[in-house]
Structure 1
Amino acid sequence: MFMSRPSITTTSNSSSQTIKTMSPGKVILFGEHFVVYGYPSLIASIDKYFKVTVRRPSLYKGEIRIESNLGFTSVKYRGGEITISPMSLDTKFVNIVTKLYTIIDYLINNEKMISKELAETYKEEGLFIKLESDLPPGGGLGSSSAFCVALSGSLYYAEHNDLDQNNICNQSINAEKLINIDTSGADCSICSFGGFGTFDKINGFKRLSADMDDYQFLIINSGVAHDTYSMVERVSKFKKNNSDLFDQFCKSYLQIYEEGIKTIQSQNINHLGILINQNHELLSKLTISNTLIEKIVETCNGFGALGTKITGAGGGGCVLSLIDRSNHQSEVRLLERLGELGLEYFFTRIDTLGLRLT
């Protein structure tokens, strides 16, 4: 069971230290791609987490060792060489590991996070980092953002014995920009603070007061990793070639968003489902859906879901479905059908705490 109160575990060696953090993933209820063009989005954190354990010293001096539940172990040596095992891992894991070390190096050398003295200690003694994620990479559930936030939290706590969520959030955004230059900061914000929030380019992130503890979402993984950059480019091309139509979509979206805020605050679950479907229709018209995603949406809604949509950049990743769990018969049939299609899925609730230590 997770604890919301910060705690720290130290070994018998006073110079040794182990810190464990976790940060929630996220879903986008409204606003994919429209947020790129200045419109507000509605995001929420979920009770699926990226957990990070940081321990010093490492097994061998000067090395930064990573162990992950994705099935790999990697070591970066003092000279900069990186090894990954097992060696049979495909290219995507090599790219993931490279990005992980890019973020780690940035945070260790960031004086807004830790002092030069502690940074030198890490470099001299080495560092062990264990990663445990409930979030599928490339699924659009904020895996990279949750990692940045959780790791930033561990390193900051080691120095300050405290969690400054604002500072950690800001440095997490800077870290993620190293691997995703177009990141808006919305994901790191909701992963840091939890609950519901709105985000737009002018006003940034604002926490939204809403009680949805009784709501559950069904998340279905399409099994196809999404490419945010290519999807953003696709929408940009659509806008260029269909400017008037794109403007109409934006106006329709803004109405959906404004109604969505009121609907969540009034807990009108049936109308929320209608708005989710409407938002998905707009995303489909922007050409970021595909045959598999449409099959998932059709299946969920055909078996009683109140609303189903892409959550994330599209082109793959995960699909979010709002389920009326009181209709047990329809739910059972839906889950059976998803299983027949070979799709992985899970239910999730809204996380209200954000970043914390375990």
Structure 2
Amino acid sequence: MVQFPFVTSAPGKVIIFGEHSAVYNKPAIAAALSLRTYLLVTKHDSDDIILEFPDIDFSYKWKKSDIPLKSTISNKLHEDDELNPELISSITPLLSTINTKYHYTAAYTFLYLFVSLCSDSIPSGLTFTVRSTLPIGAGLGSSASISVCLTSAFSYLNNHIDEATFKSADINLKDSPECSFIDSWSFIGEKCSHGNPSGIDNAVATYGGAVLFQRMSNSIPSVRTSMRNLPVLNLLLTNTKTPRSTSDLVSKVSKLIVDLPITSGLILDTMESIVKIAYNLMLRPFLDSESKQKLLELIRINHGLLVSLGVSHPNLEKIKLLCDEFKVGETKLTGAGGGGCAITLIDDDLVTPLKLENLIKEFDNLGFETFKTSLGGKGVGLLVTRDEKLLELMTVENFMSFKSRDEIEESIGCLSVDEWRYW
């Protein structure tokens, strides 16, 4: 029996190792961030299905009777995991008045998953309110995080999955069928957003921890291995706010490989060896001081290799130089480079809170946006509670009124509220 209100949540991600080399069938590792998306599901008296997404200034509603819900659904993926053309055709008229890209994508993904996973027996009068502590559109997996939140909420509503039971301190020894279901369907949600996603973002958002991913050539399926019990690692995430084109940067590396195949090939091979060493370190549910130092060294080396491929940027180098000057840890670009974000794995033996605050002030003065976050941690979660103080917060009005990421996390966040459970 579904209890209202309830909240689902899923993390964002950063690529730690394997940027660019992954394009050439080398392995990459991505890890969950403690920055997350939260989806509140509440009931109201009307027949409307309402989507509220204040972080992108979007609000929309549909009559439940206008949505092409079926009396029973198979919940099986369409052939070859492709989007269903008939379903797309049936929901397209419901999107006709939405004329901005972000809003259209959000509504399209919402409706596609809603119709796929919910029958007409679900309650009338539901509001879905999305809040994100993730920067949106910064290459940190925000769309996958949203897709996982929607998929888990719809699946819970229609009894495709059991209620979450794992506590934050529990170690998961094997993947649950609920996570497999959520991962598969959130990948479909990612197809609504991106067309041809790799699957790594939704995997990290579902399972948490870290994921090793490797595209294979020709018709061989990609390899995707979850490392759910990665110990939490403190991280500084700095967004340069510098625009860049991923496709241009990928093309730049491709040209280098054509022009200097032996030299660039050795760089890609070295990146692959870094991923393999890091994977063996990160598989353990603990990380001693020696292993942490090795991980820091791998981050430093990997950034140097990416610089040699020509995908860094002066702003990314400013971040690295300042982090080196303040001696807080090791820094590398994450994602395509050319701007975007840098990650700094904190060396907890060297860093004081005052040193970190002074560094962040330096970044603020340069116009960068910095987040104190962590790597690892749990994946998709569910909050169902009878606590009166929490229930007072779990209203559409309160969810909409949260003014900052910190306020969201402190009020309802996975690190602040003990009642969160995970699949």
Do these two structures clear the TM 0.5 threshold for a shared fold by scoring above it? yes
1:192 and 2:206 equivalent?
A: yes
User: What's the Cα RMSD here?
Assistant: 2.8
- Paired residues of 2:207 and 2:228 also in contact (CA < 8 A): no
Following superposition, the deviation at residue 241 of structure 1 comes to 4.0
Aligned-residue identity in percent = 28
* Matching residue within 98, 102, 111 for 1:105: 111
Relative distance call for 1:356 and 1:34 in structure 2 (3 A) is same
How far does residue 76 in structure 1 lie from its aligned partner after superposition? 5.3
Matched, 1:334 2:359: yes
Take 2:338 and 2:156, find their aligned partners in 1: how far apart are those partners? Answer: 37
Maintained 8 Å contact 1:75/1:83: no
How many angstroms does 1:159 deviate by? 0.3
Show the 5 A alignment for 1:1-358: 8-10=2-4, 18-55=5-42, 61=48, 64-70=49-55, 72-75=57-60, 77=62, 79-81=93-95, 94-110=100-116, 113-115=117-119, 117-118=120-121, 125=124, 127-160=126-159, 162=162, 164-202=178-216, 204-208=223-227, 211-213=230-232, 215-224=233-242, 227-264=245-282, 265=284, 267=288, 268-325=291-348, 326-328=350-352, 330-358=355-383
Structure-1 separation of matches of 2:378 and 2:228: 13
**1:60 offset after TM fit, Å?**
5.9
Give the conservation status (yes or no) of the 8 Å contact 1:142–1:187: yes
Q: Distance in 1 between matches of 2:40 and 2:251?
A: 36
Letter in 2 for 1:136: P
> Which residue is equivalent to 2:404?
none
Asked if the contact 1:65/1:75 (under 8 Å) is kept, the reply is yes
- Indicate the SS of the match to 1:349: strand
- What is the CA deviation profile of residues 173-211 of structure 1, one whole-angstrom value per residue up to 9, with x for unaligned ones? 122123223421111101101112211124532122655
TM superposition shift of 1:275: 1.0
2:231–2:377 contact (8 Å) kept in structure 1: no
- The separation in 1 between residues aligned to 2:323 and 2:192, in whole angstroms, is 37
Offset at residue 172 of structure 1 (A): 0.9
Residues 126/287 of structure 1: CA separation in 2 closer, same or farther (3 Å cut)? farther
Query: What residue identity is the alignment partner of 2:158?
Result: E
Closer, same or farther: CA 240–327 of 1 in aligned 2, 3 Å: same
Do the aligned residues in 2 keep the contact of 1:138 with 1:317 (CA within 8 Å)?
no
Counterpart CA distance in 2 for 1:105 and 1:95 is 15
In structure 2, C-alpha distance between the alignment counterparts of 1:176 and 1:230, rounded to whole Å = 22
Query: Does the C-alpha gap of structure 1 residues 277 and 8 become closer, same or farther in structure 2, counting only changes over 3 Å?
Result: farther
Alignment CA distance shift 1:345-1:58 (3 Å): farther
Contact 1:270 1:306 in 2 (8 A): no
Amino acid across the alignment from 2:157: A
**CA distance in 2 between partners of 1:95 and 1:142 (Å):** 17
Distance (whole Å) between structure 1 residues aligned to residue 382 and residue 244 of structure 2: 30
In the alignment, which residue of structure 2 is the partner of 1:14? Answer: none
Deviations 1:234-255 (A, max 9, x none): 4334434443333122111012
Q: Which amino acid aligns with 1:103?
A: T
CA displacement at 1:319 relative to structure 2 = 1.1
**Larger displacement relative to structure 2 (224-233 or 264-273):** 224-233
1:33 is matched by which residue type in structure 2?
Answer: H
- Quote the Cα distance in structure 1 between the aligned partners of 2:36 and 2:309: 30
Q: Which runs of 5+ in 1 are unaligned?
A: 1-6, 11-17, 85-90
1:255-296 C-alpha deviation (Å, 9 max, x unpaired): 211222344445422222221121112222333322211211
Separation in 1, partners of 2:279, 2:361: 33
Unaligned residue ranges in structure 2 (runs of 5+) = 67-92, 164-177, 217-221, 384-423
Give the CA deviation at 1:306.
2.5
Tell whether the 8 Å contact from 1:27 to 1:311 is kept in structure 2 after alignment.
Answer: yes
Structure 1 distance, partners of 2:144, 2:95, is 25
Q: 2:313, 2:338 within 8 Å by CA — same for their partners in 1?
A: yes
Q: In 1, are the aligned partners of 2:18 and 2:29 still within 8 Å (CA)? A: yes
